[in-house]
Structure 1
C-alpha cells in the first residue's frame, strides 16, 4: 500500500482527494463526448480486423478444397494451404479482442497515444499470412507492444502484492525482500512502466504551460488531471506522481472491469435468447440506421440494456472481495474496531444472498428495470444526469456489437 492513487491508498485524506480529482475528470461532458467518438472509431478498426481474419480463413478453406479436388497434384501448394488453415481457422476469442480494444481506448483517452494492442494481436494471428499482415509500422508496433507488455506485468505484480502481502502479519512482511528478488523481472517492469508514465505526464505539463491561454485544450484525461483545479486541504494541486498513480488505477481497474464484465454479458445473452432479442428491440427502437452516430443522450435511454449489465454484474462481481480501511474508531456489529482496521467486504455474498434479493440464483434483469425507469422519471434529461454513468462505455460497446454482429 501507498499514499497515492486510489486502489492501494490507505491514507484517507489522500484517497479522498485523488478520488475526487479522478471523478471530476471522467464525468466531464467534453471528455465523455470524445470517448463516444473514439469508441466508434476503434470499433470500426476492430471490425475490419475480424473481417480480414474471416476472409483469410475462408480463402484458405476454398484453396484447400480446390487442392483436394485436383487429387493433390501440387503437393507444395497443398502444404502451404494447410499451414494457412491451421494458423487462421480459429474461433474469434472475444475476451482477448475486447481486452486489446479496451486497452487501446483507455490509453488513448488518457494520453492521446495509441497502444496498437489490436494491431499487434492481429499481426500475431496473421503471422504466417504476409499478404494480410500489417506492414509499414513495425517499429511503432514493436515499441507499443513493449509498453503494453510492461503494463501487463505491472498489473500482475500489483495483484500479487495486494492479495498476497497486504493483511499479513509484520513477521511475514519481513520476507518481502525474498519475494522481490523472486519476482525481480516484474518489479523492473513495474518501475519501467511507472517512469514511462511519469515522462508522459511531465511532457504534457510542459506542453500545457507553453500553450496560449486562449487555446482550447484537448479533453483527454491527462490534461484534465493536470488542470483539475482541485486542491488538497493544505492548498496544493496534484503532483506528477499522484497523476501517474491515478492513471495506473484508471487503466488497471477499467480494462479488467469492462473486458471481464463484457465476456459475462455475451455469455448470458447468448444463453437467454429472449433477453438478447429484447435488447436488440430496444436498440432498434432508438437507431434506425446502423451507420448512425451514437450519443450518450440516446445511450441513457437504453434502460433494459443497462438492467442486463447490472444483473450480470450482480451475479458475477468482477471483484468478489474488496477491502476498506477505517479512518476512525467505531463500533460495528457489537464489536469495537480501532482506527486503521482493514475490512474485507464479500461482494459476491451480498449480491447473491436471499435476504437481499428475490430468487438471487435466477438471471432476471427485470429486478433493475424499475429502478432505471424511476430514475428517468425523477431526473430531467440533461448532461449532468447521465454523463457520469459508469456503464456508458459498456453499453456503447454492447450497442455497437449488436448493430454489426450476430452472436449465437
Structure 2
C-alpha cells in the first residue's frame, strides 16, 4: 500500500477532525504488522492496539486515571517532594566532590519523572532519585580510591545499599536498570514497526539492536508484572480487613468489573507500561531544550522567571516540611507565560515529530483520492515549521501563544504536540503539569 506524508495542517484535517472512534475513518495508526505482533502490543494497551473494543476500554482507564484533574493535583505534590529530594542530592554530591559537581540534568529529570509517574499510577515511590544519587556517590568514591584520596566519605559509601532507601525501606524495583530498559520502549516500537523480520533477524547492526530491544522490554515487562501481582494481593488483603483502597490508575484497572469484564495481568501490565513509558520518556528532552533555549534568549528567560517569582512566592506557613516554598495546583493556571514557553518549545521540537494514521476505507484527502489501507504519516514537526501556518516559524517566540496573537494566528491542527483526534495523547494534562512544575521549581 502507498505511504503518504502530510506536512500541511489543512490537508491533515480529515485525519484528525473526529474525536469519536465510531465516526473516524482514521482511528488506527497502522494496519497489521508482524513486528508489532512480535512485541505483543498489537491487541493490548493503547499505543498501537488494533482491537477497537480493547482500545476503547483501555482509553477510559487512561481518561479516569491519567487525564483527570485529581491525577494532576497529586502530580504537583509528588513533583514538589521529588524536586526537593533532587536538590538535596545535588548538595550532598557536591559536598563529596573534588571541586564543583557536574549535573547531567536530563538523567536527573528521568529519575524525577520516574518517581512521579510511579506514584501517580501505582501510589508507590520507587525512589529512583535516591538510587541515582547513591550510584553517583559510589562512582565518586571509586575515583577517590584511584587517586589515593582517603576520607570519611569512603567509609560512608561502603554502607550505601541500592537495595534500600535512605530510611531503610525496601526498594520496589532497581530503578537504574528499569530506566535504562524503559528508554528503549519507543525506539523498539518504531524499529519493529518499520523494519522487515529478516532485517531484524539477520542484518547487523539492526539484528543486534532488535535483540537488545526485546531483552529490554522483556525485563520491563517482568518488573511490571511483579508490581501488578503484588498490587492484586495488596488489594485482596486490604479488602479483607475492610481497609480503604486508594483508587490509583493500577488499582482502578485491577478492580474494574465494567460490563462483567475484568482485565488480566497482561492487559493491566501493558496499560501500565504505556502510561509509565510515556510519562518517563517524553519530558526530559523537552525540558532540557527549554533550559538550553532560555540561555540563548535572556529576555524570555527573565520574563519567565519574573512570572514564576510573582506567582510562586514563599507561602510556607511553617507546616510544610517538603519545601521552603509551596507550589500548588492552582498556581499553575496563573503561569501563562511559562505555558507559552513550553508550547513554543514543543512547536519547534515536538516530542513526537511523526504520527501515523491508516485509512479504514476509501477517502479523499486534499485533491486526491486514496484507497482503504493507505498509510498516512503526519509530519508534525513539518506542520509546526510550515510558514503557511506560522509567521517566522523557526524563531523561538512564546508570545505567539499569548493574547491577542494566539486567537489570531493559530490555525486548527497546526499545533500537534499532543496529537489530535481519537488518538490524542491522554497524558496531556499530566505532562503540562509536570513541565510547569519543573520550570517553576527550577527557576524560582
Q: TM-score, normalised by structure 2?
A: 0.71
Q: Per the alignment, do residues 341 and 122 of structure 1 end up closer, same or farther by CA in structure 2, a change over 3 Å counting?
A: same
User: Is 1:226 equivalent to 2:250 in the alignment?
Assistant: no
User: Is 1:277 equivalent to 2:288 in the alignment?
Assistant: no
Q: Per the alignment, do residues 211 and 124 of structure 1 end up closer, same or farther by CA in structure 2, a change over 3 Å counting?
A: closer
Please give the alpha-carbon distance, in whole angstroms, between the structure 2 residues aligned to 1:134 and 1:316. Answer: 43
Maintained 8 Å contact 1:154/1:190: yes
Shift of 1:344: 1.4
Please give the alpha-carbon distance, in whole angstroms, between the structure 2 residues aligned to 1:390 and 1:373. Answer: 21
What is the CA RMSD across the aligned residues, in angstroms? 3.1
Q: Per the alignment, do residues 201 and 338 of structure 1 end up closer, same or farther by CA in structure 2, a change over 3 Å counting?
A: farther
Shift of 1:210: 4.0
User: Is 1:117 equivalent to 2:128 in the alignment?
Assistant: yes
Maintained 8 Å contact 2:181/2:220: no
Please give the alpha-carbon distance, in whole angstroms, between the structure 1 residues aligned to 2:212 and 2:395. Answer: 44
Aligned counterpart, 1:391: 432
User: Is 1:99 equivalent to 2:110 in the alignment?
Assistant: yes
Q: Per the alignment, do residues 46 and 132 of structure 1 end up closer, same or farther by CA in structure 2, a change over 3 Å counting?
A: farther
User: Is 1:130 equivalent to 2:154 in the alignment?
Assistant: yes
Aligned counterpart, 1:382: none
Gaps of 5+ in 1: 62-88, 375-386, 404-408
User: Is 1:52 equivalent to 2:92 in the alignment?
Assistant: yes
Q: Secondary structure at the match of 1:324?
A: strand
Q: Secondary structure at the match of 1:165?
A: helix
Q: Secondary structure at the match of 1:166?
A: helix
Please give the alpha-carbon distance, in whole angstroms, between the structure 2 residues aligned to 1:50 and 1:289. Answer: 22
Please give the alpha-carbon distance, in whole angstroms, between the structure 2 residues aligned to 1:194 and 1:373. Answer: 43
Report the structure, 1 or 2, having the larger helix content.
1
Q: Secondary structure at the match of 2:378?
A: strand
Please give the alpha-carbon distance, in whole angstroms, between the structure 2 residues aligned to 1:361 and 1:134. Answer: 51
User: Is 1:208 equivalent to 2:235 in the alignment?
Assistant: yes
Gaps of 5+ in 2: 1-35, 37-41, 142-152, 316-323, 408-427
Q: Per the alignment, do residues 11 and 344 of structure 1 end up closer, same or farther by CA in structure 2, a change over 3 Å counting?
A: farther
Residues paired across the two proteins, number: 355
Shift of 1:155: 4.0
Please give the alpha-carbon distance, in whole angstroms, between the structure 2 residues aligned to 1:239 and 1:154. Answer: 22
Please give the alpha-carbon distance, in whole angstroms, between the structure 1 residues aligned to 2:304 and 2:217. Answer: 41
Q: Per the alignment, do residues 174 and 186 of structure 1 end up closer, same or farther by CA in structure 2, a change over 3 Å counting?
A: closer
Q: Secondary structure at the match of 1:199?
A: helix
Shift of 1:258: 1.1
User: Is 1:264 equivalent to 2:289 in the alignment?
Assistant: yes
Structure having greater relative contact order (Cα 8 Å, sep ≥ 6): 2
Q: Per the alignment, do residues 390 and 153 of structure 1 end up closer, same or farther by CA in structure 2, a change over 3 Å counting?
A: closer
**Deviation digits for residues 210-240 of structure 1, max 9, x if unmatched?**
4349643224321233345655xxx624433
Q: Secondary structure at the match of 1:31?
A: helix
